[in-house]
Amino acid sequence: MHTQLFINNEYVDAKSGETISVYNPHDESLVADNVQIAGQADVDAAVAAARAAFKGEWATWKPKQRSQVMRNFADLLDKRASEIAPLEAMSMGQPLSVVHMMLSMTADAFKYYSGWTDKIAGEQFPEEDGIYNIVQYEPVGVCAGIGAWNGSAIFFGFKIAAAVATGCTFIYKGSEKSPLLLLQLGALVKEAGFPPGVINIISGDGRAGSMLASHMDINKISFTGSVFAGKKVQELAAKSNLKRVVLELGGKSPSLIFPDADIENALVHHSQNFLFNTGQACIAASRTFVHEDIADEFIKQLKGRYEQFTHTIGSPMDPKTFLGPLVDGKQFERVMNFIEIGKGEAELVTGGKRHGTTGFYVEPTIFLNPKDDAQIYREEIFGPVITIRTFKTEEEAIKMANDTSYGLSSCVFTASTSRALRIARQLEAGMVNINTSQTFAMHAPFGGSKQSGLGREGGRQGMMHYLEAKTISINMRV
C-alpha cells in the first residue's frame, strides 16, 4: 500500500516529514498511520515536474498517443478495481459496491475524454479588410485539482481526464479523509505509460490545498468541496497569479413531487437514491416538496422505506451493505448535531439516532415541515437526513425550491412533460432531473449555479476549461 507522494512517476518521501493517520469509520480502527503529506517543498517539486513534462515530452505526444495512454489507464483501473476498492471502503466507509461503481465511472471519464484529444477544433473567420482571423485552442498548462472524500476517484477522473486530453499536466490532492485509494493510482499512471510528471498525486489537508491555490506556476485549479473552502481557493487563486478556477461546491437541492407523479418511482428516488453513499452526495435532493393532495400517503410510505433501509446498514466491506458509516467522527458529530437541532425545528418522522454503538452509523432520517429559517432546511447536512414540506401550487413550489443560496441540482416528479419543462426553466440550478435523481452522464456538463460552483465538469464544456483561446490575425495584404 503506497503512502508516499507520487511525483514524476515515482513514489517519494515527503520533504515535509509530516504524516497523517487514517481510521476506519466502521470501527475507528487504524488503517494507516504513515500517510505522508506534502509541504511547500513537495508541492514545488510536483509543480516543477508537471511544468517540465508540459514543456517537455508530453508536448511532443500526438493526440492519438494521448488517447492510447488514457485508455491504457482506464483499462488498468477496470482490471485493478478489486485490489484498490477496499482502501476506499476502509478509509471513508463507502460500501464496496459504491466504490466499484465510482471506479468504473472514473475509467469512463478517461475513456470518454480519450475520444476528444483529436477533436479540439479551432475556428476561422472570412477575411475582412485584408485581415484573416483564426482561433486555436491551446492547453492552459500546469493544472491542480483538489477533491473531497465522498467521491475520491470520480473527482480525480473528472478533473484529470479532461486536462490530459488537452495536453495539460496535473497535480492532484485528494481529501485527507481518504488519501489511500488515490495514492495507488500513481502506479497505474506509470504502468499505463504516461510520461513522468504528467500526473502527480500528493496527500495533504487544507494547508497543501492552499499551497496549490496560491502557487505562482500553476495555471488552473479545479476544486470540489465545501463552499467555505472553495471561496478560499478562489481568493488565493486571485491573489497569486489569477489562475483559472473551477469550483464544484455544496448543494441543498430541491425535489418537487406533483399529484400526477409515478409515486413508486418517486419513493425509490427519495429513499434509495437519496440515501446513496449515505447521503454524502453534493447533488442529493435533501429538500423535498410534495403536493398536499398526496403528502400523507407519500410520507407514510417513505417512512416505511427508511425503516427498511435501516436493515441495509452494515460494514462497507460487506457486499450486501447499502448504507455505510459517515466518513469520520467530525462528520458524524456534524450530522448528529444537525439532527438534534432539527428536533426543535421540525417534526421527526423516523430515524434521528445513531445506529449501533460502534462506528459512525446514522439512521436514515426524515424531518417534516421544517420552519423557513430552520438550519436543517437551509444548510447542507451531507448525511442520510431529508426534509419534507408540502405545497399547493406550482408557483409556491418553485418559490420555495429557489429560496436557497445553492443552485446545484433539482428534481421534478410529474407525468406532464410540459409542466416538467415549464418548471425546469424556472428552477435556479445547474441540473434538473425529471422523474429521476442523481443522474450523471460524462457527455453533459455537471455543476451548479449561485453558490454551488463556478464552471462545469464533464462533456465538452468541462474540457474547454483546460484550454485557452488564441486569436491569430494575419494581414493578407503583405
Binding residue (CB under 6 A) for ligand TXE from 37, 202, 213, 429 = 213
* Residue range at the interface with ligand TXE (CB under 6 A); choices 186-194, 227-235, 395-403, 412-420: 227-235
Site size with ligand TXE, rule: CB under 6 A: 27
Binding residue (CB under 6 A) for ligand TXE from 3, 210, 321, 433 = 210
Cβ atoms 379, 273 nearer than 8 A: no
Taking the alpha carbons at both ends of the chain, their separation in whole angstroms is 63
Cβ atoms 88, 98 nearer than 8 A: no
Binding mask 322-351 for ligand TXE (x = CB under 6 A): ---------x--x-----------------
Per-residue CA distances from 20 to 36, 37, 43, 148, 180 (Å): 7, 7, 17, 16, 11
User: In the block, which residue shows the cell 466504490?
Assistant: 99
C-alpha cell at 438: 442523481
Binding residue (CB under 6 A) for ligand TXE from 95, 209, 316, 407 = 209
Binding residue (CB under 6 A) for ligand TXE from 103, 218, 256, 282 = 282
Residues 6+ apart with CB under 8 A from 258: 291, 412, 413, 414, 415, 416, 419
Asked if 205 is part of the footprint of ligand TXE (rule: CB under 6 A), the reply reads yes
C-alpha cell at 427: 428552477
Binding residue (CB under 6 A) for ligand TXE from 38, 70, 77, 249 = 249
Asked if 285 is part of the footprint of ligand TXE (rule: CB under 6 A), the reply reads no
| Cβ 250 to ligand TXE shortest distance, Å | 4
C-alpha cell at 290: 410534495
User: In the block, which residue shows the cell 432531473?
Assistant: 433
Asked if 345 is an active-site residue, the reply is: no
Residues 6+ apart with CB under 8 A from 191: 72, 76
Binding mask 164-203 for ligand TXE (x = CB under 6 A): ---------x-xx---------------------------
Cβ atoms 50, 171 nearer than 8 A: yes
Residues 6+ apart with CB under 8 A from 230: 223, 247, 249, 453, 454
Between CA 94 and CA 315 the distance in angstroms is: 9
Kindly name the residue from 88, 248, 345, 363 that is annotated as catalytic.
Answer: 248
Asked if 225 is part of the footprint of ligand TXE (rule: CB under 6 A), the reply reads yes
Selection from 399, 1, 318, 326 nearest residue 150 by Cα: 326
Residues 376-415 that bind ligand TXE (CB under 6 A): 380, 382
Asked if 146 is part of the footprint of ligand TXE (rule: CB under 6 A), the reply reads yes
Residue closer to ligand TXE by CB (options 149, 367) is 149
Binding residue (CB under 6 A) for ligand TXE from 54, 61, 112, 149 = 149
* Residue range at the interface with ligand TXE (CB under 6 A); choices 244-252, 259-267, 270-278, 293-301: 244-252
CB-nearest residue to ligand TXE = 209
Positions marked catalytic: 248
Binding residues for ligand TXE (CB under 6 A): 146-150, 173, 175-176, 205-206, 209-210, 213, 224-226, 229, 232-233, 249-251, 282, 331, 334, 380, 382
